[in-house]
Amino acid sequence: MTVLATFLLFLALMIAPSLHAQSDVSVDSGFRIEIQTVIDGKPSFTFTNLFNDTLTACVIRFYLSSRPTWHAELDWDPLVQDLPINRVGAEHPLDAGTSKTMYLPHAVGESLPDKVEVVAAIWADGETFGDDKWLKVLLKNRASLASAYEGAIGILQKGMDENWTRIQFLEAVSSKPTAATLAIRNTLGGNRIFDAKPQLLRHALQNLQAYFEQKLDLLRKSRPAFDG
């Protein structure tokens, strides 16, 4: 093989992955959406907030051009998703002009979605976009989580006032399954060291309570207002 042929082959191999990485770019209702085929071994998409305010939540739909209806749906809301049981890769609101890359939902063995659309969105100043039906879903999720935090804070305070043991706390949350009580269960469930160290148990519970109160405050201050 000649030097020129070798160079051309090398160049083709270098360019091919970059051509394969991006399959579609579109701008829809103030969002730039890019569909990638594979990043780090996983299909993904990137969406950019083109508005002049921070995006706090949205509903995203995924389509296959070969099908008449939408393929999958994603509710994205950092206020709802960032729980202490999953702090790794915690979600944050999307500032104006910034982007976020996420996994592209698809069925194994089927074609990847070739269209991604933001069908509803909420910004930090309370402005909204999209179908009222999906906006109500986002606000209902926030109201539900606010209620869960209130319930968990009440359990923690009652238990600390009455000096409950680790087992008593676990029994109290077992009949009230919410995202917040699950965080309590995960904190206490495998940590038997708390049985012999009540002060350490109280410290862990105070940290959880402070976190729940912080998140509850953020939810109550979020706009637009919700019934929660």
- Could you report the per-residue pLDDT of 113-160, keeping only the tens digit for each? 888 989 999 999 999 999 899 999 999 999 999 999 999 999 999 999
Contact between 109 and 186 under an 8 Å Cβ cutoff? The reply is no
CA angle 82, 87, 89 (to 5 degrees): 90
Against a cut of 0.95, is the pTM above it?
A: no
**Is the CB of residue 121 less than 8 Å from the CB of residue 137?**
no
Q: Is 88 helix (H, G, I), strand (E, B) or coil?
A: coil
Half-sphere exposure of 43 (CA within 13 A, CB side): 17
- The answer as to whether 203 is a domain residue is yes
Final residue of a structural domain among 81, 100, 130: 130
Out of 130, 156, 184, pick the residue that ends a domain: 130
Residue 169 neighbours by CB under 8 Å, 6+ apart: 155, 156, 159, 184, 188, 205
Question: What CA–CA distance (Å, rounded) separates 159 from 163?
Answer: 6
Residue 226 domain-assigned? no
Residue 210 C-beta-side C-alpha neighbours within 13 Å: 6
Q: Average pLDDT, stretch 222-227?
A: 90
- Quick check: 56 and 77 in contact, CB under 8 A? yes
**Number of neighbours of residue 127 by Cβ within 10 angstroms:** 12
Owning domain of residue 197: 138-221
Distance (Å, rounded) from C-alpha 65 to C-alpha 47?
19
Compare 107 and 169 and report the one with higher pLDDT: 169
Q: Is residue 14 part of a domain?
A: no
Regarding whether 175 and 80 lie in a shared domain, the answer is: no
Q: What is the DSSP letter of 66?
A: T
Q: Tally the domains of the chain.
A: 2
The pLDDT tens digits for 24-46 are 555 556 899 999 866 666 889 99
Is residue 8 pLDDT above 50, yes or no? no
Using a pLDDT cut of 70, give the percent of the chain over it.
81
Sheet holding 31-39, edge to edge: 22-28, 31-39, 42-49, 99-103
Tally the residues of the chain.
228
Residues 77 and 146 occupy one common structural domain = no
Please report which confidence band the pLDDT of residue 225 belongs to, taking 50, 70 and 90 as the band edges: very high
Distance CA 156, CA 94 (A): 32
Distance CA 60, CA 68 (A): 17
Task: Calculate the alpha carbon distances from 133 to 59, 106, 120 in Å.
Answer: 11, 24, 9
Q: H or E stretch including 174?
A: helix 166-174
Q: Which helix (H) or strand (E) holds 153?
A: helix 132-161
**Together in a domain, 79 and 144:** no
Average pLDDT over the chain reads 84
pLDDT at 83: 67
**pLDDT value at residue 26:** 52
Residues 164 and 110 in one domain: no
What would the two tokens of residue 70 be? 């939408």
Among 79-88, 94-103, 168-177, the range scoring the smallest mean pLDDT is 79-88
